[in-house]
Amino acid sequence: MTTKLSLAEVAEKLKAPFPSGAEQYRLGPTWEREGKMLGRAFAYIDARAVFDRLDETVGPDNWESHLERLAPGTFLCRLTVLGVTRSDVGTAGEHEKEKEKSGASDAIKRAAVQFGIARYLYQRDLPPVCLEKSGSEWSLPHGWRPKAPSNLNVSFINTKEEPVTEGQVAKIAALWGQLFGDVVRDVEAQRAAKEHLKETTGRASRQELSKREAIQYINRLIQKK
C-alpha cells in the first residue's frame, strides 16, 4: 500500500517519550552496601506499547512485523515501517517463566528501537533503589517508580515568540513525561494530558505552543508537584 508519509517526517513522533504510565521497571544488578541490599532499575515498555505507537504515528496499514524463531526463547523480528525494514534479535531473560513469549516480545522491542521507539530509555541512568525481600528473592518495592527531578532544566527554550522546533518538542515531551506521572494517574494519561493542555492553554497540541507558552505551561506543572 502506498502512503504519503515518509520515515523522516514521523521520526520525532516515533522517538517521543511515552506517558509515564506506559513505562515499566525491572530489576537489574544488585549489591549490598552498609547492611542494605541495593539494585539498579531499568525502564522498559511492552510490545503492545510499540504497536500502539506505530498505529498512532503511521497508521495500522503502514507497518508490519515478522517473527522468526531461532532457538527456544530466541527470536528474530523484522519490523517494516513505511517500507523500511529493520531487524534485531531478542531473547528471554534467565528467570523468565514464559520464555517464548518473553523472547518474542524482546525481539519486537529491540527492532522498534532501530526506529527510535523508546530508545531514550536505554540512555536513562536511574539511581540505586533500596530493595525489598519477597520470599528468598530481592525485588523492587511494590509500585516503585522513579521520582521526578526537583530541578528540571528548561534552559533549552528561549522566550522569543516563535514556533517550537521538532527537537524542542521532543525535549518538552520528555519533561512532560517526567511530570505527568504525578499530574495524571489514570491509564488514559496521554488523552488526559492533551485535555489538560487544551483547558489550560487553549491549544490542541504542544506543537501549537510558542516557546514562551511552553515555558509557562511547564512551570505550571512544576508548581503542582
Distance of CA 198 to the CA centre of its chain: 23
| Domain assignments of the chain as residue spans, ordered by start | 12-139, 166-224
* Residue linked to cell 528467570: 95
Per-residue pLDDT of the chain (225 residues; tens, 9 = 90+): 444 788 888 988 898 888 767 888 888 889 988 888 999 888 889 999 999 999 999 999 999 999 999 999 899 999 999 999 999 999 987 767 788 999 999 999 999 999 999 988 877 777 889 999 878 888 998 888 877 555 555 555 554 555 555 555 556 655 655 554 444 444 455 566 667 777 777 777 666 666 667 767 766 665 554
Q: Which CATH superfamily is domain 12-139 in?
A: DNA repair protein Rad52/59/22 (3.30.390.80)
Is the pTM higher than 0.75? The answer reads: no
Sign of CA dihedral 27, 31, 33, 37: positive
| Buried-state track 50-84, b at ≥16 Cβ within 10 A, e below 16 | beebbeebbeeebbebebeeeeebbbbbebebbee
